[in-house]
Structures are given as C-alpha cells and as structure tokens.
Amino acid sequence: MSNYTLGINYAKQLDKEDKLSHYRDQFHIPKDKDGNNWLYFTGNSLGLQPKATQKYIQQELEDWANFGVEGHFDAKNPWMPYHEFLTESMAKIVGAKPIEVVIMNTLTTNLHLLMVSFYQPTKTKYKIIIESDAFPSDRYAVQTQLDFHGFDANEGVIEWKPRPGEDLLNIEDLETILEEQGDEIALLLIGGVNYYTGQYLDLKKIAELGHAKNCMVGIDLAHGAGNIKPDFHDSGVDFAAWCTYKYLNSGPGSLGGIFVHEKHAHNKKLKRFSGWWSHNKETRFNMRQPLDVIPGAEGWQLSNPPILSMAAIKASLDMFNDVGMNALREKSEKLTGYFEFLINELNNDKIKIITPSNPSERGCQLSIQVKSADKNLHKKLTDAHIITDWREPDVIRCAPVPLYNTFEDVYKMVKKLKEILS
C-alpha cells in the first residue's frame, strides 16, 4: 500500500509505464453527450465491446449470405467445428487442458447439465454446500436439483457462512462443516470469486477438503473467468461453469463455458442429458447410430452452436491469447492495489472496503460497503457517468478491468467519490 502516491501526475505516470495501456484503444468506451468517456467500472457485470467484434460477426454474416447451409464447411471459419476454434484459448485462460473445456449454452443451464452428472445423491448422502451469499441463480439451481431428486430444497442446502461480524469466508469453517456433516454431503458448489465481496477462494484447498469426504466439487467461475487464474486442472475440482460476457467481453447474454476434469473424460457411464453434439463426430451425421459419447467436456454438448455468439467470443479470446493471463493478473493486482490505497486515504467512515486486502485473495473488484445502505451515493456516481453497480443490501461493486481501465480512471473515480462524500 505504501508503494503508491497521491496525485493525478502519479496516476498518469503509472499509465505511461503500463505495458497493456494500448489495449484500451481496442475497445468502444461509452461517452456522454459532450463526447467525454464514461468511467466504466462494471466489467464484472458486462464487459465493453472490443472494436474487432463487429468484423468477426460480419465475417459470419457474409459467409451465411454467400454460402447458405454450405457455410458449415465452406465458410472462412467453417461452422461445423467452430467451437473448436475457441477451445485452446479458453483452456489457457482457466488453466485447463483442451479436452477439459468447451464453450456451450449459458451458465445456469450448464450448471444443471453438470449436476445431472456430478450430483448423484443417495438417501443418506445428498446435501449440497454453497456459500451463504452465493449468487441467487446458484442457490435456485441447487434447490431445484434437490427438489427434483425428492429432497427438501431448504433442508438439503448447507451454507458456508462468514463468522459473526465478518464479511469474508474462512476456509477453516468449511473444513469444520465437512468434518461434522461430510457423510451427508454429496456436492460442494462454490463461487470461485464471490459476486458480492470479490473474495477469491482457494480452489485447490476446497477440492482437497471435499474429496477427502467423498464429495464432488464444482465451481461457478462467473466472476473469475478472464479475471483470476483458477488453474482448474491442477486444482483438481471435478467441474466448473462460467459466463463469457463479463471479463471476457463477448456481449450481453453470450454463451458460457464448462470445465470437466480429465479424470472424468472417458467415463461414459456418468449420467448425463445428451444431444447429437455429444455424439462421436465421425458418425454424427449417420443418423441411425446409438449414442457414442465424445470423450472430455465436448461430451456434455447438446446442439450445434450459435455461430454469431461464438464469433463475438472468438474476437475477445484472440485478444486474451495475445495478452496472456499473467500480464493481465499483474496489472489487475496493481490497479486494485492503487484503488484500495486511494479509498483508504479518504479516511471516511461512511464507506468501507469489504474485499480482501491481499491481492491474491481477490479478483479485479473492490466492494465498497456504504453505511446505512445509502444508495444515493451510487446514484450520484451514475449521474456523473461513473458506472458502478449496486448490490443489495449495501454494496457498490467497482471493477477496474486491466484490458481497458486506466490508473487515471481510478484516480478520477475516487476524486469524484470524495466530492460526493463531503
């Protein structure tokens, strides 16, 4: 923290030294009516549009116009294997082998499909652990899975909670839950980066604790993909799912991705809901073949992919491939560190950062808790074209994204925050 300095000149100097600063020019930055750039801090909700995206989608529109159905084979990027063009880049981002990753469907759809395979309850071992403040969609997904299997949707959920008076989760408390109730727990479904606090959890430790009690372990990486380095393969988690429209900048409601650990890749006995895109590529179009499931994550696909959405994902992943997660993570830690320093220098008791102060325990998000849940502070920031988001009951989430946010953005945001607070 003491490595940072106050003043606009220091922020400009950091931007001058930033090796990734030129990537900002590759994004459309929203502007006000006078042509001034907004200060955009909601890449944790919807990432900005890369300027290349239009060209990538236009290519597929032209090939559709020129080839019709033959575009599946004759397009510049043939549609038939299109998802395969994304696999290697996506695998690098989440720290996986290509066989462990595929882009398909949307986040909660994928969680349900994965739970068909990895949530196999018995009468005595059926409970599911989630964080007490899990994203609502995760909670609804596990509750409806419990209900589908004939269990009480509330009684079957075990919450991993922060300690009284604290905001963050403690890994020792998860260990205690598993020690005491592990024989009744079938699945852990944990948000790798908590949407509310920005806390980045130790995935390897979570996997070890769950597996020691013979539980399956799944991760919702919605707020982590393209943000942190989850190293999924080495972590040992059984499965994961994420969206691509936040830090991966693929456009509103775009497709998600899944990870299935290599140890499950060739297990054709795993229960699953299948479709023709789960089936052996060599005989897929011989329409009368019995199901022959593809090894690896591809075996969880159902249908042929939506190409226009995948084109937008490809535009973003090509940029990520160019930058690399190491460089992004390094800048991210520096950005949030500088942001945290400036907020703390305000020394204002109306606000408090609840995100971990250790950069390795957070994503590129700071959650600012507002005293008395005063939403007016967030409204005034928005009126000034500083785009953050409010999460009930009392938090402003701010995500300085390393691909397009600058140190000067952070400086200006905190300067405005100081004005509003005073």
The H or E element containing residue 206 is helix 203-212
Helix axes 84-94 and 307-323, enclosed angle (nearest 10): 40
Are 358 and 200 in contact by the 8 Å Cβ rule? The answer is: no
**CA nearest 143: which of 189, 98, 201?**
189
Q: What is the mean pLDDT of residues 157-170?
A: 97
Whether the per-residue pLDDT at 218 is higher than 80: the answer is yes
Tell me the DSSP string of 97-146: -GGGEEEES-HHHHHHHHHHHH----SSS-EEEEETT--HHHHHHHHHHH
- The CATH number of domain 58-322 is 3.30.70.260: no
Residue 331 exposed, middle or buried by CB count within 10 Å (0-12, 13-18, 19+): buried
Q: Which pLDDT does position 20 carry in this prediction?
A: 97
Summarize pLDDT for 230-265 with one digit per residue, the tens: 999 999 999 999 999 999 999 999 999 999 999 999
Q: Give residues with Cβ within 8 angstroms of 387, minimum separation 6.
A: 30, 38, 39, 40, 41, 42, 381
Q: What is the mean pLDDT of residues 181-187?
A: 98
Q: What is the mean pLDDT of residues 340-357?
A: 96
Q: What ranges do the domains of the chain cover?
A: 8-44+324-421, 58-322
Q: What is the mean pLDDT of residues 195-205?
A: 97
The mean pLDDT value of the chain amounts to 97
156: tokens are: 């079957």
Q: Which pLDDT does position 2 carry in this prediction?
A: 56
Whether the per-residue pLDDT at 74 is higher than 90: the answer is yes
**CA nearest 211: which of 194, 186, 247?**
186
Summarize pLDDT for 46-64 with one digit per residue, the tens: 999 999 999 999 999 999 9
- Predicted TM-score (pTM) of the model is 0.96
305: tokens are: 């992919």
375: tokens are: 């939403």
**Fold exhibited by the domain 8-44+324-421:** Aspartate Aminotransferase, domain 1 (3.90.1150)
Strands (E), 135-243: 157-160, 185-191, 216-220, 239-243
Looking up tokens 């994503």 gives 363
Summarize pLDDT for 85-137 with one digit per residue, the tens: 999 999 999 999 999 999 999 999 999 999 999 999 999 999 999 999 999 99
User: 8-44+324-421 and 58-322: same fold?
Assistant: no
Strand partners, 27: 50
Whether the per-residue pLDDT at 1 is higher than 50: the answer is no
Whether the per-residue pLDDT at 5 is higher than 50: the answer is yes
392: tokens are: 């009930």
Are 118 and 273 in contact by the 8 Å Cβ rule? The answer is: no
